Amino acid sequence: MQFKSANDISQQWIKFLVYGHSGVGKTVLAATMPNVLLISAEAGTLSLKTSNLAKIYGDSVEYNPDVPIIEVRTIDELLNVGKWLATSDEAKQFESVALDSISEIAEIYLRDNLKRSPDPRQAYGKMAQEVMGVIEAFKRLPKHIYFAAKVDRYKDGITGMQLNGPGFPGQQLSGDVPHQFDYVFKLDIGQNPETKENYRYLLTQPDNQNKAKSRGGSIDVMEYPHLGMIINKIHNS
């Protein structure tokens, strides 16, 4: 029987779930991943224009100034993209895949099913099953994965406190989805107390208001919002 030391285990492909309010920059975050393909389910990719990216990042860090985008509107379309990524030689050029957003995909699927299902509970259950199937399919890809999610408020089952977390229709996915990712961050905006200037940051550990987690001690509680830099930090730890 061969044993492996925990110190020898490395994470080649990193899987991120990042949630945040609308307009905070979740879409822009995709441009910070290496050789990324963005799968967009939301009509909000104008923020990826080269002029806007240059305004945000300037010359200080590397980013992708021209992110290729595939638009999807259904879970079936999304799964077809996943199959293409898994089997196509053309898709080998992409080291990373971003989805904006998994929350929108869940909402679209639920709306369609509520029209057809006589039992709303059945529609919610089917939606949760399909969304988890999407996550499992993309987690198996030999690529870095970034799923964006909306934000919602939940009551913590242990403490009873109201917390911010990834937002989905219904209650089941809000608890199940974060467990599928090693890294769950909140993208947020802070303010420098001296200059009063706003800045964006990734919260990587939970606090008394927000859900977050990081499996591995190599990243700081607050990180600069650049997933490529975080990937390098994890790999070099």
pTM: 0.91
Domains defined along the chain, listed by start? 13-184 (3.40.50)
Q: How far apart are CA 225 and CA 4, in angstroms?
A: 33
Q: How far apart are CA 197 and CA 181, in angstroms?
A: 32
Per-residue pLDDT reduced to its tens digit, 175-234: 899 999 999 999 999 988 889 899 999 999 999 999 999 987 689 999 999 999 999 999
Contact 54, 62 (CB under 8 A): no
Local confidence band at 2 (pLDDT 50, 70, 90 cut-offs): low
Per-residue pLDDT reduced to its tens digit, 30-52: 999 999 999 999 777 778 888 88
pLDDT at position 157: 72
